[in-house]
Amino acid sequence: MSPKVIKQLNSILDKGQKLKIAGLMVMILIGGLLETAGVSLVVPLISAIMDEESFAANEYVVYCRELLHIDNIRTLIYLLIAALILMFIIKNAYLVLLTYLQSRFVNKNRSRCTTNLLSQFLHRPYEYYLYAETSVIIRTIYGDMDNVFNLLLQCMNLAAELVVSVCLGVFLLIIDFKMMIVVVGLLGITTLIIMKVIKPRLSHVGDRSREEQAGLYKWILQPVTGIKDVKVLAKEDYCTDRYREKAKKYADYQVVNNVLSNLPRQLLETVAIVGILGYVGISMAAGVSTSRMIPLISAFGLAAMRLLPSVNRVNTYMANIAYYEPALDYIYANIDTAAMREQEEIDRNRRENPNTTELTLKKEIRLKGITFAYPNTSKNIFTDAEMVIPVGKSVGVVGPSGSGKTTIIDILLGLLKIQAGTVTSDGRDIMSNYAMWLSHVGYIPQSIYMLDASIRENIAFGVEPDKIDDERVWKVLEQAQMKTFVEEQPDGLDSMIGERGVRISGGQRQRLGIARALYHDPELLIFDEATSALDNDTETAIMEAIDALHGQKTLVIIAHRLRTIENCDLIYEVKDEKIRLKK
């Protein structure tokens, strides 16, 4: 594990997480000592079973017999067997507990961090989403952050296996120094080759896999969200082919990763066995007696049964760390991890300590001296623009395409950060209590965002199902002229409308959008070209529902056509970076 990985993990993890990791590392050290103790107890047992007389003559055995007052050597052997059984029970129970604690720590903190990261993304300024790629956001949350904790788990597993390997290595040094030097030398050279040749390749494969993974998400999201266009243009095969290309490349990289990840195990096992057997063969050729070699081979064989898998896993974990390292690099370079860690506390404070600054909507909304240009552009959409929306009035907004009609609505909603000017409600800046401002507003866009859920859940969007007021739902359905349609459905409010509302018509989706906007009883309703995608008859029906709200709510209606807003009390025209009153 490189210093860079340690530095990056240290930056991403908070103090509490690092303390828990320190505690786990202490437990890992204890686990390694228990593993070594289990193996070391087997050696004297094998010696005792193979040659009781030599075992009984050993000075340490004599001392133990005198200390325990044991006359019969068989009794000591039975005690040694019992102790070994107990040792393995305790050791394995402890290791199961350690595995549970490691897994719980990694997975709970993975869940916590991905949730905080999602919250941080959702609370980013609206301007961020003007340029963001959805597939990259999904990969960052679900892929990269997930892999950071996969890497952390590999690091802890690596530490555990290193402890076991070192302890067993010391034990084998005591048993036979020369054999251990030969084996360690060969394993060391092999590991160095693995680190210099295989690890860089794995890191490259991991980086490329991340890129192809984002492409996979992209070619699932794009055709599914635009399924009507895909079908009308008969581009199912085109989209499938694009996905197939990405899926094939991703699969190829996964194959390479699996082969390279498992290659060290075969290499190390081959080298270790060749080293041990080669040393035994040379020793026998040099005249070392077979009786002396048997306990030695038994000890090395037993230790190797545990040491070889441990060394193999060390190299596997190192390979996995190299594979996941690009994800860690990306999170470290592109995510404000300090802000991510703080997001949980920010969310909690927002829930527990709501802003109590009073923000009313009883007289007027005023946009004054508005100057705005989109990020990374030099042309102003508005320069010192003015607009007044009296409470209780209906206000129409018209203008040519690209003039800034939707932009002025996004500014009114507080989504865009203006370079100059103010947006006030009854004289108070809407950003002084943004949450309260949004509680005054209902928004109906051209394309209504629909959940793959029931009509009830779509209208009360964001409200827990057990807290939805059905009486209120029926009332807003009536106001949106949608009540009769819902009553005719077999499941009523429980009727499912399908993903993106595909089971209902465009006009019905717009009416549900109006009902949703009305559910929380806002004072201001904003219609952002809510009828522009509808046919004339449907548009007329929707406008009747909107006109029925005239006098009950303050209405702001954006439209391409003047006839759509001919009944409005005031009409503004957006043109040449200004907002001018026409009526």
| 297 and 343 part of one domain | yes
61 in a structural domain: no
User: Given 348, 376, 403, which residue is the final one in a domain?
Assistant: 348
90 in a structural domain: no
Give the end-to-end CA distance of the chain in Å, rounded to a whole number: 71
Instruction: Give the chain's domain count.
Output: 2
What pLDDT was estimated at residue 370? 93
| 253 and 330 part of one domain | yes
At 126, give phi and psi (nearest 5°).
-55, -35
| 253 and 316 part of one domain | yes
CB atoms under 10 Å from CB of 522, counted, come to 18
209 in a structural domain: yes
Six-digit token pair at 423?
A: 């947006």
Could you tell me what percentage of the chain is helix, strand and coil, using 3-state DSSP and rounding each to the nearest 5?
Answer: 70, 10, 20
CB atoms under 10 Å from CB of 269, counted, come to 15
| 284 and 332 part of one domain | yes
Among 514, 471, 509, CA closest to 493: 471
378 in a structural domain: yes
DSSP secondary-structure letter at 465? Answer: G
| 417 and 536 part of one domain | yes
36 in a structural domain: no
| 320 and 418 part of one domain | no
| 197 and 294 part of one domain | yes
| 309 and 368 part of one domain | no
Buried b (16+ CB within 10 A) or exposed e, 29-57: eebbebbbbbbbebbbbbbbeeeeeebbe
**Token pair 């030398």: residue:** 185
User: Given 324, 348, 372, which residue is the final one in a domain?
Assistant: 348
63 in a structural domain: no
Query: What is the CATH number for 254?
Result: 1.20.1560.10
358 in a structural domain: no
Query: What is the CATH number for 560?
Result: 3.40.50.300
Q: Which residues pair with 550 in a beta bridge?
A: 553
| 252 and 287 part of one domain | yes
Q: Which residues pair with 526 in a beta bridge?
A: 443, 556
Domain span holding position 528 = 364-581
| 495 and 376 part of one domain | yes
User: Given 285, 318, 348, which residue is the final one in a domain?
Assistant: 348
Using left for φ > 0, alpha for ψ between -120 and 50, and beta otherwise, residue 461 falls in: beta
What pLDDT was estimated at residue 387? 93
Among 282, 278, 260, CA closest to 186: 278
| 204 and 146 part of one domain | yes
552 in a structural domain: yes
| 374 and 324 part of one domain | no
What Å distances lie between residue 300 and 168, 482, 514, CA to CA? 10, 81, 77
Task: Please give the chain's pLDDT, 583 residues, in tens.
Answer: 677 888 888 888 888 888 998 898 899 888 888 877 777 777 677 666 666 666 666 676 677 777 777 777 777 777 877 887 888 888 888 888 988 888 888 888 888 888 888 888 888 888 888 777 777 888 888 788 888 888 888 888 888 878 877 777 777 677 666 766 776 777 777 777 777 777 777 777 777 877 777 777 777 777 776 665 676 667 777 778 888 888 888 888 878 877 777 677 667 667 766 766 676 677 667 766 555 565 566 656 655 666 666 766 777 777 778 878 888 888 888 888 777 777 777 778 877 787 777 889 899 999 999 999 988 888 899 999 999 999 999 898 988 888 888 899 999 998 888 999 999 999 999 998 988 898 899 888 878 877 778 888 888 888 888 888 999 999 888 888 888 888 888 888 888 876 666 677 777 888 888 888 888 888 998 988 766 656 666 667 777 777 777 878 898 988 777 777 878 889 998 988 899 888 6
